[in-house]
Structure 1
Amino acid sequence: MAHDQHPHHHHHIDPEAGDARVAGAIAVNLFLTLAQIVGGVISGSMALIADAIHNLSDALSLVIAFGARKIARKPRDGGMTFGYGRAEVVAAMVNYTTLIVISVYLFAEGVSRLFNPPEIAGWTVVIIAVIALSVDLVTALLTYTLSKDSLNIRAAFLHNLADAGTSVAVIFGGVVILLWDWRLIDPLLTIAISLYILWQALRELRPVIRILMLGAPEGTKAGDIAAALEGIEGVENVHHIHLWQIDEHRNSVEAHVVISGEAAPVLVEVKALLRDRFAIAHSTLEVEAPGAGCAGDADPAVPAG
């Protein structure tokens, strides 16, 4: 079904204040990563090091998102006529691709340790994982509001919630080692963490690829737009429809519209419908008279549905 909301979202957060929150989240994640790596080496816990690497990837993703936020706010110019908004989409693509690589590495490491589980200091694992859980929750609080309006920050927010979950898993593993000395729990949790990261990265990667591949906005189809516009009085036919997302918040369409009679008032109604019903504020329309131009021609690149 088509979107009913306006394409522009305003949560009234000053950009500089938002940047400060992201910078704070980066700082606490880097501190956490260092603490977890040291603790993992001292304790011999691969699961703790796995969680540290995941946290490092979150810190790096926040660094990339921080830079992308700055670039995205640059005004459009003669060379970048749509502006720089897609910088954040590109950053998200980099972040998720990196997460996939990390998850594959952690899976392989966990499998290898199944056959040779190391000695692990359970108390060290539990203490540092509790610290990790606290930092994950602080980071989530810093980025929650920003996550509503940014694909990059939303991804980082979701990753930190995932980190909180993996920290709980590591705490569980440490308790099991302390109580029963069952060392296989550590590589098993490492494998579980890696599979969860992989699943999450692949799921979040889909909308990013959709934007970069000039896909139509989720839930909007060319055929739906054609049918809606052809319901406007004076519009006889709509064809050669191309839909895409300029960036996360701006949708665009170009189309040929066959209009009988005076075009100006009909175009006003067409643009209003596109904006209000489909959340498309940027439209490029070529007006054709009945029987002229390419009226009625099918566009093989865009199926009717």
Structure 2
Amino acid sequence: MHTDSQKRLAWGIALTGTFMVAEVIGGIVSGSLALLADAGHMLTDSAALMLAWFAARISQRPADPQRSFGYERVQILAAFVNGLTLIAIVLWIVIEAIRRLATPVEVAGVTMMSVAVLGLVVNIVVFAILHAGDSDNLNIRGAALHVLGDLLGSVAAIVAAAVIMATNWTPIDPLLSLLVALLILRSAWKLTKESGHILLEGTPDELDLERMKREIPEALPQVCDVHHLHVWSLTPGRHLVSLHAAVSPGTDQQAVMLGIRELLIERYAIAHVTIQIEADGECIDERAGAEGGAPSRVDSSG
């Protein structure tokens, strides 16, 4: 992550942490669940932004003997933790909203409205700061999702305050909190799923392994089979490949390795490739075909 993105996270931490205190006070004074839920969310936002900032700093460390790939994946771990935190927040909001629906409480609409409007302004500013950063970085996305959840919470609190001021119907407060919780859950699940997939070294969604297995022999006739093919990611967009390529005996193995590497760079933008060449006596002997005869199989059994 670039220094610019780290500065954006630092600004987000300062603004979110400062307003969180005001929102906690406003939620207690007004008795609003929407404000208290949003304040609790902002507390985790501050922690999430600090985690994202810390991960961004750590990820810049160079590789060492213990971390030969470097520390870039710390950002993915931070995104995964942020996603789980968001899901936990959603569960808390749902439980508290159900409790409030069963036992309604008085809500001071004017106080709630004042704090919610100020919160909306702060959240819009923080979200704009983060959204202008690296959108492909899961760490930044995780932090931005926390703030987006707060932004939605502020909107819900404003609507709830307006309804309470006009009709004194307090159940609108927990009902809108439930709606916001569901919206947050959708984004939180997506973030957790994507970061978890990378941590489990899953195949990148945009890559088709079967297609890759076909394309390599099609582009390089010396290769008769590709197996033990594995593709995974360190971070989104930074993919790694390992594979075994079977060739007929006598094939220029170095040329095959270079050919496979160039193909993967050109078609898939994958530069980190580990290739093992296997001389397979059952491969089609392309040299025979090149000399005018029909391609034949070399029988290793004699």
TM-score (norm 2): 0.88
Matched to 1:253, the amino acid is: V
Quote the residue 1:202 is aligned against. 189
Quote the residue 1:285 is aligned against. 275
How far off is 1:292 after superposition?
Answer: 7.5
Consecutive unaligned residues of structure 2, counting only runs of 5 or more, are 284-302
How far off is 1:134 after superposition?
Answer: 0.8
The answer to whether 1:239 aligns with 2:227 is yes
How far apart, CA to CA, are the structure 1 residues paired with 2:254 and 2:132? 41
Contact 1:256 1:285 in 2 (8 A): yes
How far off is 1:198 after superposition?
Answer: 2.2
Higher-Rg member (1/2): 2
The answer to whether 1:73 aligns with 2:73 is no
Matches within 5 A, 1:164-243: 164-233=151-220, 234-243=222-231
Q: Please, which of 217, 233, 236 is the counterpart of residue 248 of structure 1? A: 236
How far apart, CA to CA, are the structure 2 residues paired with 1:274 and 1:235? 14
Matched to 1:126, the amino acid is: M
How far off is 1:34 after superposition?
Answer: 1.1
Higher RCO (C-alpha under 8 Å, 6+ residues apart): 1
How far apart, CA to CA, are the structure 2 residues paired with 1:90 and 1:74? 16
- Aligned Cα root-mean-square deviation (Å): 1.8
Q: Secondary structure at the match of 1:230?
A: helix
Matches within 5 A, 1:96-115: 96-115=83-102
Count of residues in correspondence between the two structures: 280
Contact 1:104 1:198 in 2 (8 A): no
How far apart, CA to CA, are the structure 1 residues paired with 2:253 and 2:119? 62
Matched to 1:240, the amino acid is: H
Contact 2:16 2:45 in 1 (8 A): yes
TM-score (norm 1): 0.87
The answer to whether 1:142 aligns with 2:129 is yes
The 4+ residue runs of structure 1 with deviation greater than 4 A are none
Contact 1:222 1:241 in 2 (8 A): yes
Contact 1:18 1:146 in 2 (8 A): yes
For structure 1, which segment, 141-150 or 55-64, has the greater mean C-alpha deviation from structure 2 after superposition?
A: 141-150
How far off is 1:104 after superposition?
Answer: 0.7
Consecutive unaligned residues of structure 1, counting only runs of 5 or more, are 1-12, 294-305
Quote the residue 2:32 is aligned against. 45
The answer to whether 1:16 aligns with 2:3 is yes
Matched to 2:178, the amino acid is: I
Quote the residue 2:49 is aligned against. 62
Contact 1:96 1:204 in 2 (8 A): yes
Quote the residue 1:9 is aligned against. none
Matches within 5 A, 1:22-37: 22-37=9-24
How far apart, CA to CA, are the structure 2 residues paired with 1:285 and 1:292? 20
The answer to whether 1:125 aligns with 2:112 is yes
How far apart, CA to CA, are the structure 1 residues paired with 2:47 and 2:27? 20
How far apart, CA to CA, are the structure 2 residues paired with 1:21 and 1:152? 12
Quote the residue 1:299 is aligned against. none
Contact 1:146 1:154 in 2 (8 A): no
For structure 1, which segment, 185-194 or 24-33, has the greater mean C-alpha deviation from structure 2 after superposition?
A: 185-194
Contact 1:214 1:245 in 2 (8 A): yes
Contact 2:156 2:177 in 1 (8 A): no
Matched-pair identity in %:
36
Q: Secondary structure at the match of 2:243?
A: strand
How far off is 1:252 after superposition?
Answer: 0.8
Contact 2:217 2:224 in 1 (8 A): yes
Matched to 2:153, the amino acid is: T
Quote the residue 1:161 is aligned against. 148
For structure 1, which segment, 228-237 or 177-186, has the greater mean C-alpha deviation from structure 2 after superposition?
A: 228-237
Contact 1:147 1:157 in 2 (8 A): no
How far off is 1:70 after superposition?
Answer: 0.8
